[in-house]
Each structure stands twice: as C-alpha cells, then as structure tokens.
Structure 1
Amino acid sequence: MFSNEFVSPSPGFTGAAAERLIGCPRLLRARRAVLGRLPFMTLASDVVDIVYCTWTVDLARIEASRLVPPGVELVQRDGKTLFTILTYAHRHFGPALAGPLRRLFPSPLQSNWRFYVERFGGTRAPEPTVLFVKNVVDQAIYAIGSRVFSDALPSHLAQRFEHRAHAGGYSTLITGGRGSAPGFQCDAQRTTARVVLPDLAAFFGSWDDAVAQLSLQDAALSHVEDCARLAHARIDLPIDPHSAVPLHVPPAAASGAFLDGIGATGAPFCFVIPGAPFRVISERLI
C-alpha cells in the first residue's frame, strides 16, 4: 500500500516536532481509546469556491499503484475509473457546538483528492462514498489537528497554497516543498458550455447528471496505515447541483506529479459550486 506519511515542509525543530507528534504510536492509541468512547464532536464550516476537477484514469494502473486498500472496489466503466481533485475555502472550520463563536476559528484552504467507491467490506456502498488518497491544507494547526484527532482525514501541509476566484475563473496552486503535500496547479476559466467530456460519457448521461453524482457524496473512506484498517466518516454537504457553474481547463492548465503518476494528464471535467454548509457528522474505524 502507498504511504500517506506526513512530512513537514518546514525544516528544523518545528517541522521535526510536528512529525514526531503526528507519528507517535502511543498518542494515536491513547486518542482512539479515549475518543472512541465519547460522542463524536460534529465539525462545521461554510465552504466557498468549491472547484471540482475530474479525470478518467485506467483502473488497472490505479490498482497497480496500490492506492486502493484491500476490500475497496472503485466505480468503473470499461476499465476506467474517476479521480477528482476538489479544492475549496473554509469559512471558520471548527466544532458545531461553538455556535456563533465559530467565527473565531480560522478559515483554511483545503484540497481533497479522491476516487469513487462502488463496494467496500464485501458489500455495495450503502450511500455515495469516496476514497480519500490525499488531503492538503494550508495551515499547520489543521494539518496537525486532523492527524492527531482523526483517522479519516490524514492531511498534508502545503508549503504554498493559493486558491482564489478572479474575473475569468479560478486559480489554484499547491506546492509541497520538502514536505509530503502533492503539488497541483490549475487555471480554470468560466464558460457557458455545459457538456460532458467524451471520456466521461460512459459514466454520465448529461452535464447535470455528472455534477450531481460527483458532488453529492455522503461518506468518505481513508486507509489507516498504522492499524491496516479503514476509517469511515459521514459528511453532510447539501450542495445544490443547479448552482454549479461550468469551467474550462485546457490540458496544459492543470498539472502535477501525482496526476502524471496516475495517468490523469488530459483536460479535466471542471465546475464550481459557489458555496454550501459543511458538516462532519461521525467517524469510526471499520
């Protein structure tokens, strides 16, 4: 199985201390023993500028790369599967019980890299489910916090992370530096063309169908390396698919070494959701 080990982009004492804290097996065991007996603390945010970039890739290549944990089967058509990079800006991401005080919490940028799950644990996924293979944030407190307090969102800290809207569309830049965050660059331009790219036609019957299936997901899986199990998180992201705006990304305008490695090298199918409320409802090991 591929490694999702955390490596800090910061050299010296700060980066080394973060790596030792995150990699401490005693701390992980203690956290699971304590929090596993307590009710899950719902997390909330209002996310904006939610940009989806989706490619079709060869399933055999993905399986050979060992990105998919044992027992997980991906959605596939004719030997192809779907891979999405989903990038957005949080607005005050923190415990829902904080109520109005949640406005005091920071607003990180986040990028989720995911496949779409057909079956896991020997049965068909009971709800629309994704498999996270990479998660990137721009603030150390969220990268460290997600690693220490969660199994479902093993985040990496970017050396540089930009995600912004402009008059013509959206620009995203992620660099990892010496750290473990994967690099990604994308310049997406607004368009009026609501069309499904030819290589996605086997998965979706229309543009509206593609937007709904890619955005309306209720659960996420992650492989937990230290115990060789799956973490299952339930999420609530009530997106209105009719709010989606199509984006156009030329092939040369989206790039990254990870994308090259899995064969996601053509123009992605891309759209943006202006905003939606977001909740993490539960998490458990299965």
Structure 2
Amino acid sequence: MQDNSYRHPRVGWPGRLFAALANCTRFANLRQAMMSRLPFLTLHSDVRDVVYVSWLVDAAAAQQLLPAGVTLWQRGGKTPFTVLTYRHGHFGPALPGPLRKLLPSPLQSNWRLYLEHTPAGAPDVPCVYFLKNIMDSLPHALGTRLFSDILPTHLAAGMTLEVSATQANCTIASGAGSAPALEVQAEITAAHCLDTDWQALFGNWHDAVAFLACQDAAIAHVPRNDQLVFGEIDLPVDLDQVQALTALRAECGLLEQLPPVSKPFAFLVPKVPFKALSERLL
C-alpha cells in the first residue's frame, strides 16, 4: 500500500505548517467524531473538460496498492488504471443555491483503480478506489484533507488543463511536494476505436467508456485508523456527448509502480454535473 501523507510543493516554514495541518490525526479524529453525528453536507460542481486517460496495467502490481479486504477488478491479469483531470464549476456546498456561482473553480485530478465489488458494509454498486487526488488550489487541498477522508489530496506545484476544438492537454508538476507528475497531450478524433488489448476486455469503445466513467461510489484508505471510507456520488455522464481522444503523449508518475501492458486509452467528457452525496467509515 502506498503512502498518501501530504508534503507541500514549496519548501520553507509555511509548507511545513500546511503539512502539519494536513497530516494532523488529532484534528481528523475530532472532526470525524463531530461530523459523523451531523447530516452530510452535499457538494455540487458543474464539472467540465474531463480528460480521461487509462492504461491496462499488471493486476498483481495494482492489487499490492490496495488494503486488505479490497478486491480489484481484473481479467486475464490486467486491470484498468485511470487518471481523470478536470475543471470544477463552482465547487462547494449545494446549500447556497444560486450563490454557489460565487465559489471558485479549481482544477482537480483523480487517480483510481476499479473494484470487482464493494467491501463489506457498503452497498454493491459500481465503485472505484482512490489512489491519489491532486488539486491546484491550496484552500481546496487543505479543506479536503481537514474535513474529509475520501479525498487524499495533494497540492500541485503547477497544474494546467487546456481543451480546444482539436486538442486536450493537461499537466501536473510536483515541485518538492507529494503530488505525482502528469503530462498528457491528446488530439480529439472522430474515430471511436479500441486497440486489441482493450477490445479483449470490453469489446467496443462505448462499453469501455461506460465502465471507466460511470460509477456510483468511491472508497479510500484512512491511514490513521486503518479503515476504509465509502463515499456515494452522482455523476450522470452522457455517453453520447463523450469525444474520443488519441493520446500523443501520456506520462504518469505512478506507472513505475503500475507497469502498463497496453497503449493509453483516452476520451473527453465535455461537461457533467457532479454531486458528493455521502461519506462514512466502513
């Protein structure tokens, strides 16, 4: 299992202070004890420009990154590993209603594996396991660290997302911090094709996209108490609006631990409304 402790991307005493806050187990235990007694504050975001890049990786290596009791989806010794990078649309609590438009729209990147089934104590729904979560906003990175368990968030030293009529590019720079690096350059294409390795697992482009993009829940490991946290989400991806991408360059900081056994498979979701509906320890 990997280390998800926070390290600030810039050296100096402010970074050490932010890391101490982000990794403070005493605060996290107090927050969990208090918030578990309160209704969950639903979060909304009008997400746009979601760039998905996936590799088939060695399933045995991927399973080693998961805690006990979590079963990886795999077929023939292969399993998908996905990085999706996107721009939020006024991410925050649903409670303010129209005033949510005053909230900022940070960049975010989720790195995940796919589960055969949910762990004991969770409903049996399509579910992913969060390996990493990266954002370009310090308030959002610290906020998710301090007030949530489901997103093991790291702050990027630099992060870009550029989507045009013909291209989709995204980067993550680590600096001195714990955010893993990423560089993706892709072209938008009209052809909805799968190469042989992906066809063997999913048959066709549409079914591969549906498997990779449509989930109802996520789990993550909580190191301070060696438990799992389960979060329900609403992510109604319109598969008819998804655009195919051809990855010209796809470099990812976890691929040394997850050796790829296929070419990257990429696509673009232009927009999707997102809701975080619940979070609880299993």
TM-score (normalised: structure 2): 0.96
Give the 3-state SS of the residue equivalent to 1:249 in structure 2.
strand
Could you say which residue in structure 2 is the equivalent of 1:128? 126
Could you say which residue in structure 2 is the equivalent of 1:173? 171
Provide Cα deviations, 1:80-127, integer angstroms capped at 9, x if missing partner.
111000111001000001111111111000000000011243599611
Could you say which residue in structure 1 is the equivalent of 2:25? 25
- Ranges in structure 1 where 5+ consecutive residues have no aligned partner: none
Could you say which residue in structure 2 is the equivalent of 1:219? 217
Instruction: Write out the 4+ residue segments of structure 1 that deviate beyond 6 Å after TM superposition.
Output: none
What is the RMSD of the two structures over their aligned residues, measured on CA atoms? 1.5
- 1:9 to 2:9 alignment: yes
Could you say which residue in structure 2 is the equivalent of 1:244? 242
Provide Cα deviations, 1:119-148, integer angstroms capped at 9, x if missing partner.
243599611100000000000001000000
Of 269, 273, 282, the match for 2:278: 282
CA distance in 1, matches of 2:191, 2:166: 15
Give the 3-state SS of the residue equivalent to 2:254 in structure 1.
helix
CA distance in 2, matches of 1:105, 1:94: 7
TM-score (normalised: structure 1): 0.95
- 1:267 to 2:278 alignment: no
Q: Provide the identity percentage.
A: 45
Could you say which residue in structure 1 is the equivalent of 2:250? 254
| Letter aligned with residue 236 of structure 2 | P
User: Would the aligned equivalents of 1:118 and 1:124 in 2 still touch at CA under 8 Å?
Assistant: no
CA distance in 2, matches of 1:152, 1:88: 18
**Does the C-alpha gap of structure 1 residues 265 and 11 become closer, same or farther in structure 2, counting only changes over 3 Å?**
farther
Q: Quote the offset at 1:167 in angstroms.
A: 3.7
**Does the C-alpha gap of structure 1 residues 123 and 57 become closer, same or farther in structure 2, counting only changes over 3 Å?**
farther
User: Would the aligned equivalents of 1:117 and 1:125 in 2 still touch at CA under 8 Å?
Assistant: no
Of 148, 151, 154, the match for 1:150: 148
Provide Cα deviations, 1:161-202, integer angstroms capped at 9, x if missing partner.
001112421110101110000000000101111112211123
The residue correspondences of 1:7-156 to structure 2 (distance < 5 A) are 7-63=7-63, 66-122=64-120, 126-156=124-154
CA distance in 2, matches of 1:124, 1:197: 35
CA distance in 2, matches of 1:141, 1:197: 41
Give the 3-state SS of the residue equivalent to 2:124 in structure 1.
strand
| Letter aligned with residue 57 of structure 2 | V
| Letter aligned with residue 60 of structure 1 | A
Could you say which residue in structure 1 is the equivalent of 2:161? 163
**Does the C-alpha gap of structure 1 residues 208 and 123 become closer, same or farther in structure 2, counting only changes over 3 Å?**
farther
- Judge which range, 107-116 or 4-13, deviates more: 4-13
User: Would the aligned equivalents of 2:128 and 2:215 in 1 still touch at CA under 8 Å?
Assistant: yes
User: Would the aligned equivalents of 2:45 and 2:89 in 1 still touch at CA under 8 Å?
Assistant: yes
Q: Quote the offset at 1:205 in angstroms.
A: 1.8
Number of residue pairs the alignment of both structures matches? 282
Provide Cα deviations, 1:8-61, integer angstroms capped at 9, x if missing partner.
102212211111111222111110110010000000000000111111011112
- Ranges in structure 2 where 5+ consecutive residues have no aligned partner: none
CA distance in 2, matches of 1:236, 1:169: 27
User: Would the aligned equivalents of 2:229 and 2:281 in 1 still touch at CA under 8 Å?
Assistant: yes
Give the 3-state SS of the residue equivalent to 2:32 in structure 1.
helix
CA distance in 1, matches of 2:140, 2:23: 16
Give the 3-state SS of the residue equivalent to 2:202 in structure 1.
coil
CA distance in 1, matches of 2:190, 2:165: 15
CA distance in 2, matches of 1:124, 1:25: 24
- Judge which range, 190-199 or 178-187, deviates more: 190-199
Q: Quote the offset at 1:214 in angstroms.
A: 1.1
